[in-house]
Structure 1
Amino acid sequence: MMSKYYCNPLNLPYKYSFQKPNMPGLGEAKLSVYREAADPTLELFKGRYYLFPSMTRGFYVSDDMVDWEYHPLNAPIPVFDYAPDVRAAGDYLYFSASKRSEPCDFYRTKDPLGGEWEQIKGTFPFWDPDLFVDDDGRFYFYWGCSNITPIWGVELDPQTMLPIGEKQVMFTMDNKTRGFERVGMDHVSPKAGIDIEAETEKMFQGLMQMPAELRAKEGLTDEAAVRRLARGFAGDDPYIEGAYVTKHGGKYYLQYAFPATQLNVYGDAVLVSDKPLGPYAFAKNNPFSYKPGGFINGAGHGSTIADKSGNYWHTASMSISVNNDMERRLGLWKAGFDADGELWCDQRYGDWPVDAEAPAFEKPPFMLLSYGKSVTVSSGNGA
C-alpha cells in the first residue's frame, strides 16, 4: 500500500480576510487583505476527523488527516468569532468561540455535516475557549488570551453549561523565569531601549479619546482598565492564550500558546496535574511545540488528540504575517508521550513532506537537492 503524504502548512483553501484595526488609538485605520486560518481545534467524532480553524466560516472533515473536505457553517453558529473550540461528548459535538463584549453561547449537534445546531445560552464572555470532558462525564472549561490576565478554568454543569463555583487561575505569564515566553523575533524584544511607561501614557491618552460607549463595548469601563490595556499594547509582556487540555495516563496536560502569534517563536508549552483544575506544574521539556526556523515558522495555539489507532497528533498555527500579523496557516505534526510522561511533538522536519503512516522521528526518504549548491541570477548587484 502506498504511503500518504502531506506537507506543512496544510494544503487547504484558506479564506481571505479584509480587516481594519477594530479600536481607535491602536494604529492606522488601514485595510489589510490577506488569507488566514489559525487556532485550530482537531477532534475525532464518530469515526471522522474534524478540523475547526479561525476565520474559515466552516470546518474541514477527513477520514485520514491527509485529505480534507471543506464544509461551510451557517447561523446560528458565530462563524467569524476567533478560536473556535469543539469537543465530543457522547453523541454530541460541542462548539464555542470567542467574544469579549458579551456572553458567549455554546452550541451542539449530533451531525456536524447536515444536522441542526442546538444553541445553549452563555452567561459570561471569554476568548480562546477550550471545553474538556473528563472520563466521568464532568465538563471543565478553560479560556484566556491576554498579556495582562491569566489562563482561567472552571467546572461547567453538563446540562446547562453554567459555571459550577468561581473561576480559578490556572497560571499566569512569567517571561522573567520562562525565557520561551519572551516577546520578539528569536525572543529579542523590539521594545528594548524604549521608554515603555512613556509609550503607555501616549497610548492611554489616545484610547481615552474613544467615545465612552465604544470603550464600554470593549470592556473598558474605567480609566484603570484603559491603562491596563495601554500597558499591554505598549509593553513587551507576552500573550498567554489558546488553552487546550489532553488527558493521558491519568494526568491532565494543560497546553497554551506564547508569546505572540506573528512571531517565529510562537509555540505551545504544557503544564501537568493530577486534577483537571490543578494545581498545575510546568513540564520539564517546555516548549513541546516550537518551530522558529524553516520554510514556515511558528507552531502555537492548537490541540493534541489521539487518532483511531491511539497515535497522538498536534495541530497549531503557523505564521506568515507579511500582509498582516494575522496572516497565518495550519500545521500538523506527530506527537506523543514518553516513558516519563512528557508530552512531545516531532517537528525536526516539520515542513518537509510527511509520511502520515510512518512512525514519529523517522527521517524522510528525501534529500534537499539544492543544499550546498551554487546559485546564479540574471540581474541584480554582482550578477
Structure 2
Amino acid sequence: MKNIILLLVVTVITIYCTQAQGQQTTYCNPINLDYGYTPIPNFSEAGRHRATADPVIVRYNNDYYLFSTNQWGYWWSTDMLHWNFVSRKFLRPWNAGYDELCAPAVAVLSDTMIVFGSTYTSNFSVWMSTNPKANEWKPLVDSFAIGGWDPDFFVDTDGKLYMYNGSSNRYPLYGIELNRNNLAPMGSRKEMYLLEPWRYGWQRFGEYMDNTFLDPFIEGAWMTKHNNKYYLQYGAPGTEFSGYADGVVVGEHPLGPFTPQSDPLSFKPGGFARGAGHGSTFQDAWNNWWHVSTMVISVKTNF
C-alpha cells in the first residue's frame, strides 16, 4: 500500500468528465444526503437530531447502492451524484428495537445482493434481492446463527464467500469462510488483526492520540482484492475522535496472515468534516477506486 496516492476530497471537484455538456458534473464533499432525522427516539433527547455512519457502497447492475447505519432504507444512484432513497425496514417481528441495520454488510453474489446488520444475537436474518431498486427483498436465511458486529461480506474472484467482523478494544477482527448456499460457517473464525498502538501512533486512543489508559477500538472491517493481494481495512482508534481513521493490513490469502501498513488509508483529523474512519472501498464503472467513510469521500489512484 506504500504506492497508494490518497486524495481527500474536501472541495468541489469534477468527477465525470465524460458526461454530456449541460449536465451537472460536480458534487460537494461530504455528500449532501437526506440521512436519518431522529431515527431512534432518544436521539433527540440526547441532543442528536441527524445521524448515520459506517457507509457501504457496492455496484449492482451498473448502479451504485449505498447503505449506512440506522437509516430505515438505502440509496441508489446511476452516477454517484444524484441519489434516490428507498424506504425499507429489515428487522423482523422477533428483532426488538430501533437499531435498523447498524453498520450493515452488503455484497453481490452473482445476480443477487445480500444485506445483513450488526448483531450479537443468532436470530438476525440475511436478506437477498435481485431487484433492490424496486425494494423487492426476501430472507436468504431467517436466522444467521454465527452473527457478528460490524460485519463485512467479501466474495473472492474464485466465488468463495467470507465474512469479517469485530468491534472491540480487547478482541481482534475475525474472519471466516461461509457456505454460499446457506451461509453456514466453514470451520472456525480466525483472528485477523489486533491494533498495535505502541507501534503506530495514530492507533492510540484519545482526541490527541495521547490516552494510554484505555486500549483503542478496532472495528469496521472491509476486504478488497487487487492484483492477487488482499487488503483488509479497519477503523480505529475510536469513532468519537477527530483522528478516527481507516487502516489496512495486506496479505496473500483472504484469511491471512496479514502485514500491517504503518500509515492510515484514510485520515482527516481537522476541519469541518473530520473522522474519516469505518469506510468501504469500491470500483466505479471506469475502474477508478473510491473510498467512502463516515465523514469524507476520498479518491485513491495507483492501487
TM bucket normalised to smaller = 0.7 to 0.9
**Corresponding residue to 1:250 among 224, 228, 232:** 228
TM-score by length of 1: 0.68
CA contact (8 A) 2:146 2:185 kept: no
Secondary structure of the residue aligned to 1:36 is coil
The one-letter code of the counterpart of 1:155 is: E
Q: 1:15-74 CA deviation, whole Å, 9 max, x = no partner?
A: 1234659xxxxxxxx644321111001000011000001011111111111111111113
Q: Tell me whether 1:292 sits opposite 2:269 in the alignment.
A: yes
Secondary structure of the residue aligned to 2:202 is helix
* 1:365 matched residue in structure 2: none
* 1:110 matched residue in structure 2: 130
Deviates more, 1:303-312 or 1:169-178: 169-178
CA contact (8 A) 2:101 2:116 kept: no
Structure 2 unaligned segments of length 5 or more: list them: 1-20
**Corresponding residue to 1:168 among 162, 168, 190:** 190
* 2:205 matched residue in structure 1: 183
CA contact (8 A) 1:266 1:292 kept: yes
* 1:50 matched residue in structure 2: 65
TM-superposed deviation, 1:283: 2.4
Question: CA–CA distance in 2 between the matches of 1:258 and 1:237?
Answer: 11
* 2:85 matched residue in structure 1: 70
TM-superposed deviation, 1:142: 0.2
Question: CA–CA distance in 2 between the matches of 1:103 and 1:152?
Answer: 20
CA contact (8 A) 1:16 1:36 kept: yes
Question: CA–CA distance in 2 between the matches of 1:246 and 1:164?
Answer: 21
Question: CA–CA distance in 2 between the matches of 1:269 and 1:19?
Answer: 33
Question: CA–CA distance in 1 between the matches of 2:138 and 2:300?
Answer: 32
* 1:310 matched residue in structure 2: 287
Q: Tell me whether 1:270 sits opposite 2:248 in the alignment.
A: yes
Q: 1:151-183 CA deviation, whole Å, 9 max, x = no partner?
A: 000000001101100100001122111211111
* 2:16 matched residue in structure 1: none
Structure 1 unaligned segments of length 5 or more: list them: 22-29, 193-234, 319-330, 339-383
* 2:26 matched residue in structure 1: 5
* 1:368 matched residue in structure 2: none
* 1:16 matched residue in structure 2: 37
Q: 1:175-221 CA deviation, whole Å, 9 max, x = no partner?
A: 111211111113132xx6xxxxxxxxxxxxxxxxxxxxxxxxxxxxx
Question: CA–CA distance in 2 between the matches of 1:74 and 1:146?
Answer: 27
RMSD: 1.9
Question: CA–CA distance in 2 between the matches of 1:255 and 1:141?
Answer: 13
Change beyond 3 A, Cα 1:336–1:162 = farther
* 1:148 matched residue in structure 2: 170
Question: CA–CA distance in 2 between the matches of 1:282 and 1:158?
Answer: 29
The percent identity for this pair of structures is 35
Question: CA–CA distance in 1 between the matches of 2:42 and 2:215?
Answer: 24
TM-score by length of 2: 0.85
**Corresponding residue to 2:116 among 96, 105, 114:** 96
Question: CA–CA distance in 2 between the matches of 1:266 and 1:19?
Answer: 26
